[in-house]
Structure 1
Amino acid sequence: MPPKGWKKYPDGFKPVNSSGAPLEERPVYGIQDLLLPRQSILKLAKEVLPEKTPLPKDGVTALLRSCTVFISYISAEANRIADRSGRKIVGPADITAALEQLHMGAFVGQVQQLVEAMKQQQLEAKQKGTSVDAEDEIDDDAAIPAGAASGDAKAPEVEQASSQSEQAMEIDD
């Protein structure tokens, strides 16, 4: 006799839902489903490689997969760091700490330079009066919500909270 919630079928026992129909198996996501955009990676690779360097199909596939795994690995560790410190936001400091913890400290300098360059671009755009996309903004306190896709969640108002805590400190002094 099958266990409760299971039904016998010609190919064996299967779990069933409340109406008695067999449950469908959930799709398993593989690396193919998570790959970064091919053209973006090719463009970056061609910027680094000498001109007229051919990229074989297998090489492009290996590059796509390794980039996806690298970014997933770093972001997972940065999420853990943010969670341990009681925050739901992953910031540039979490990314650099993740690189250090994963023994990839050689990249920290480059990441910090890119963050500073982005901040400089934001400052110049603000002075010119042009707006910078919200996705392109990088602040010390705000970045990507942990575990959320880009644009799915908004960062909390960190500046207001910090200014209120500063005012409270002034009153206490």
Structure 2
Amino acid sequence: MAERPEDLNLPLSVVSRLVKEALPEGVNLSKEARVALARSASVFVLYLTSSANMLASKDKRSTIRGQDVMKALDETDFSHFEDPLRKALNAFQKTVKDKKVASEQRKQQRKSDANKETTTPKEAEEEVIDLAEDEEN
């Protein structure tokens, strides 16, 4: 658990980057405004997490799932965030799946490459005999 309340805040640098990406070009925020946004975002995330955790607990689960967060958004009157968050969740899940598929393909490729390079003792013996015969000629 967090030792101090400040430990629960989202990193200011991350929030600042997200805000900068969302604002039009040339718009700047003061440090106080960035801190206020970071604290607000932290409170929102903690509130939503708490609500989602209660839903998971009702189902006798200790792990919060995406559907718990979606239902918590609806129950906490933030349902207008549900569609954009669902799109982001689907994009994230697709990215994770694509990475997993790519990783499996790399593993299979390495395995097939290793099998190609591996020679049996009989093949190695034949290669040595061939080399010896070539040297004699």
- Structure 2: unaligned runs, 5 residues or longer: 106-137
Query: Partners of 2:17 and 2:29 in 1: how far apart?
Result: 11
Q: Confirm whether residue 29 of structure 1 aligns to residue 17 of structure 2.
A: no
Q: Report deviation, 1:130.
A: 6.7
Moved more, 62-71 or 115-124: 115-124
- Structure 2 residue matching 1:36: 3-state secondary structure: coil
User: Counterpart of 2:112?
Assistant: none
Match of 1:114 in 2: 88
Q: Match of 1:53?
A: 27
Mapped partners of 1:93, 1:50: distance in 2: 33
The separation in 2 between residues aligned to 1:57 and 1:100, in whole angstroms, is: 32
Task: Work out the percentage of aligned pairs sharing the same amino acid.
Answer: 28
Note the C-alpha offset of 1:68: 0.6
CA distance in 2, matches of 1:34, 1:74: 14
Partner of 2:47: 73
* CA–CA distance in structure 1, aligned partners of residues 104 and 39 of structure 2: 37
1:97 is aligned to 71
Question: Residue 103 of structure 2 aligns to which amino acid in structure 1?
Answer: G
Q: Which has the higher strand share?
A: 1
- Tell me if 1:64 matches 2:38: yes
CA–CA separation in structure 2 for the residues paired with 1:123 and 1:90 = 20
| Superposition TM-score, scaled by structure 1 size | 0.55
* Larger-Rg structure: 2
Structure 1 stretches of 4+ moved >3 Å: none
Gaps of 5+ in 1: 1-27, 132-173
Q: CA deviation at 1:122?
A: 2.0
Q: What is the one-letter code of the residue matched to 1:99?
A: L
Partners of 1:130 and 1:45 lie apart in 2 by 36
Kindly tell me: are residues 95 and 58 of structure 1, through their superposed partners in 2, closer, same or farther at Cα, counting changes over 3 Å? same
- TM-score normalised by structure 2 residue count: 0.69
